[in-house]
Structure 1
Amino acid sequence: MWLSAEARADVEAGKAKAQACVACHGPMGNSTDRQYPVLAGQPARYTYLQLKDFRERRRKDPRMSPIAAKLSKDDMQDLADYFAAQKPAPIDFKADSVAVEGGSRKSATELCAKCHPNNFSGQNEVPRVAGQHYQYIVKQLQDFRSRIRTNDAGNMGSVARNLTDEDIRNLASYIANLH
């Protein structure tokens, strides 16, 4: 884990706090609503930083920003550790094989695995995007491309700015299809 033994968040406290997240992110962080990300299995460091960015308005969303504004540092650490400890459930997505192949090629061209190694499973500040909802991936890539989302030190923005709509659909098909 990314926290020291002394500062280790309380996963059980995170479980209790996560009950407020179920309506959008599903039980144990396994969202079945395609507009909300699956939080189960996300690296704790990534989840913590996203919550902090929502709280500090570096990342904005009309639903998440007000919720995160009320979270303490301990709340965010507890939630991050809780969701990191959960197992992601497979999503219901039937990918078109042509789109998946196109996404695989584009991923190789853009060197996506350089930042998203281990089959897009996430690490540290890099999210697990494998098996994420297709619609959510499309929206995030579009938001990075249009600079609506900028809380990544410019890394994703520099990659996404040259992606076409077809590239985005293909990448989302490929990534959502990974398990």
Structure 2
Amino acid sequence: MTLKQLLLVLFTAAVLPVQAADIAAGQEKAQTCVACHGANGNSTVSMFPVLAGQSARYLYLQLRDYKEGARSNPMMSPMAANLSKEDMQNLSAYFAAQKPVLIDFKADPERVKLGFLKAEENLCSMCHLGGMKGQNEIPKLSGQHYDYLVKQLTDFKAHTRTNDAGNMSAVSKSLNEEDIINLGHYLANLH
């Protein structure tokens, strides 16, 4: 990432007013989200991400990207298309305030170990922080569904997901299929 790109990301993050959100309005609007993302944002379907406890800023940016076409998904893009800025802020604040529950995933201990080593090698905690807890516009990865994690890493590698200022695309280009599987086991196993 160049200094210019980093400054652009930091400036953009600084001007996003997520803090003025109405959690109660977000909860009401979130009723539409339950079918895929589960009660309180705790998805029980591994292809849909857990939203509970995720950073409000990250969630807002993803909704905005779906709405504006910077991120595309046949289910989410139409869902976000008619959301107002206020709706996106309220939804983001609501899901961020929810407590995530443990996902039901039986990780392979050897793959967890290899995934940890690959995460260390790629310096994942530099952005996602220790325990992969995330921060601001950097998502929380710990406790996320395995299938969702593998899909996102695969999409970044294939450049079919590109709403990341190039950071994840650059990191994932050196990953092979086994690396992605191992990282999925490691990350889904974190709580």
TM-score by length of 2: 0.90
Aligned counterparts of 1:34 and 1:74: Cα–Cα separation in 2? 29
Equivalent in 52, 71, 76 of residue 64 of structure 2: 52
Pair 1:152 & 2:178 matched:
no
1:25 Cα deviation after fit: 0.1
Q: How does 1:133-152 map to 2 (within 5 A)?
A: 133-152=145-164
Equivalent AA in structure 2 for residue 31 of structure 1: S
Gaps of 5+ in 1: none
Report Cα offsets for 1:72-119 as digits up to 9, x if no partner: 000000000000000110000000000000000000000000001031
* Distance (whole Å) between structure 2 residues aligned to residue 135 and residue 35 of structure 1: 5
Matched to 2:150, the amino acid is: V
Alignment-derived partner of residue 108 in structure 1: 120
The CA RMSD measured in Å over matched residues stands at: 1.3
| Runs (4+) off by over 4 Å | 2-5
Higher helix proportion (structure 1 or 2) = 2
1:148 offset after TM fit, Å? Answer: 0.1
**2:110 corresponds to which of 92, 95, 98:** 98
Write the letter of the residue equivalent to 1:26. Answer: G
Distance 1:21 1:4 in 2: 22
Give the aligned partner of residue 176 of structure 1. 188
The residue aligned with 1:15 is 27
Q: Distance in 1 between matches of 2:47 and 2:100?
A: 16
Match of 2:136 among 116, 124, 127: 124
Corresponding residue SS for 2:160: coil
Q: Is residue 2:90 matched to residue 1:78?
A: yes
Give SS of 2:161's match: coil
Q: TM-score, normalised by structure 1?
A: 0.96
**Counterparts of 2:54 and 2:141 in 1: how far apart (Å)?**
9
